[in-house]
Amino acid sequence: MIIIILVVLTLTRRYISKQQTRFRPYDPNLFNKIKGNIFEGFDNETGTSNGSSIVPNHIHFLFLNASYIPYVHAVCVLAAFRNHRPEKIFFHTNVVQFTGRHWDKIKRTLGPVLKVTNVTLPTEIFGQKFSKNYHLWHAGDVTRIRILMQYGGIFLDNDSYVVRNLDVFRKYEMTIGITDGDYLGTQVLIAHKDARFLKLWLECYRDYNPDSWYYNAGEKPMAEVLIYRPELAHTVHTLLGVHTLSERLYIWDKWDNWRKYYSVHLIVRHRNYMDTLWNNFWWPDLDETNICDYPKPFGAMAREIYSDFCPKKEV
């Protein structure tokens, strides 16, 4: 009986996995939804003919359900401000007031560039309730699409570290990074508010899979949109740093090539299982209490941006 149950469970998991990765063939009705768009015929390989920027020089972050700004998130906000020099940095949030020393640092540093706007976390998409287990992430993925459709600009995950100015990508209708599995990376998005891909990306949620963490956000829009119409976005396979770089950030003793990237997704929320047991024992968290002596490559990246509390080196 036990053997039979195990076989059934194994087959069921395989079936569910197969269902989660089943994609629809080319759908002309989907692409008809962007007919007449202002970018019809636009070339996202070359961008604007004269190299002019069409994406607003605004950066967007989404902070949900927590008033305290952690150190790593503060580093990323400050890196975006210092290394990109946006006209505005938006904090879209559903909290009443942020707290903590890092929030104070952000306010002092950004000054009038910082704009805080209220956002309500949705509970459903196209009449379908968001997954209970993945609600925060799925709703956040939808919200970032809607933010870009409203404002345009550069959307960054809270743990996306801007290394170099991103203006080179502002001449495209939409720019998006590609992850390890040839999926879309949602961590760094650069788009005009009328970008055709944004509308089609949101449409991918009409067939919502509540049981898969990344199906609608990264897998489906690649397999059902960009595979057929790659001209709808400027894709970057390496230098936006949305592929897995955790080993280089937290395990390697030296990694200077991070400076060649435009941005690096720190994957800090997943570090507990991507890093070694030894490193997790000595540095279970990375914050102002230990970053000054943290010897891995991320330590140098963080201290370069925000090290107010570190002892000053004698000259």
Strand partners, 263: 162
Tell me the C-alpha distance between 52 and 173, whole Å.
11
Range(s) of the chain covered by CATH 3.90.550:
42-236
Is pLDDT at 46 greater than 50 in this prediction? yes
Could you report the per-residue pLDDT of 195-247, keeping only the tens digit for each?
Answer: 999 999 999 999 999 999 899 999 999 999 999 999 999 999 999 999 999 99
Could you report the per-residue pLDDT of 235-293, keeping only the tens digit for each?
Answer: 999 999 999 999 999 999 999 999 999 999 999 988 988 999 999 999 999 999 999 99
Amino acid 23: pLDDT: 81
CATH hierarchy code of domain 42-236 = 3.90.550
CB contact at 8 A, 210 and 51 = no
CB contact at 8 A, 201 and 221 = yes
Could you report the per-residue pLDDT of 128-139, keeping only the tens digit for each?
Answer: 999 999 999 999
Closest residue by Cα to residue 306 from 166, 114, 165, 101: 101
> What secondary structure letter does DSSP report for 189?
E
Phi, psi dihedrals of residue 62, rounded to the nearest 5°: -120, 115
Block residue for tokens 């070339």: 43
Phi, psi dihedrals of residue 161, rounded to the nearest 5°: -100, 115
Closest residue by Cα to residue 155 from 107, 119, 124: 119
Amino acid 10: pLDDT: 40
> What secondary structure letter does DSSP report for 168?
G
Sort residue 183 into left (φ over 0), alpha (ψ -120 to 50) or beta: beta
Is pLDDT at 315 greater than 60 in this prediction? no
Global pTM value: 0.91
| Greatest mean pLDDT range, 9-18, 151-160, 267-276 | 151-160
